[in-house]
Amino acid sequence: MLGRLSILMLGIFLTLSNNAQAEPFRLPVVLACDTDTNKIIDMVQSQYGEIPFASADGNLQTLGPQGGWLKGNVIQTINPNSGSASFSIILWDPETGAGCLVLAGRNFKPALGGASPTKN
């Protein structure tokens, strides 16, 4: 399943990168969620050695007939001691305790000089 999703994502990005006049689009994604956000936080701490270092209020746009926004608190975690500087972004609803792992990655570092994605 994950392999098929990866191939689909790669196809979308390759198609868009070859179209210089690409329009904004919506990308449906699947998030790992749990009714207990603590389980997600425990996972990133135990498996990746990440610690919470930032929080904010956040919104996540949803698709579907109703559409809308999931509002909640954002927790960003990072492993400052690993060579790969892994990080995660978690959105959780303090009213229900449910949360989702929105993004996980590695090579976290400051964006020096206001760095932004560049075009080829």
Residue pair 72/91 in contact by the 8 Å Cβ criterion: yes
Pairing of strands 69-78, 51-61: antiparallel
> Whats the size of the chain, residue-wise?
120
Question: pLDDT-based confidence at 5, cuts 50/70/90?
Answer: very low
Q: Is the pLDDT of residue 36 over 50?
A: yes
- The residue among 21, 9, 40 whose CA lies nearest residue 102 is 40
What does the pLDDT read at residue 29? 84
CA–CA–CA angle 114, 69, 22 (5° rounding): 55
Residue 15's pLDDT is: 57
Band (pLDDT 50/70/90 cuts) for residue 2 is very low
Q: Which residue has the tokens 């990440």?
A: 50
CA distance 32 to 39: 11
pTM for the whole thing?
A: 0.71
Where b means 16+ CB within 10 Å and e means fewer, 51-68 reads eeeeeeebeeeeeeeeee
User: Are the C-beta atoms of 27 and 89 separated by less than 8 Å?
Assistant: no
| Nearest Cα to Cα of residue 52 among 44, 64, 62 | 44
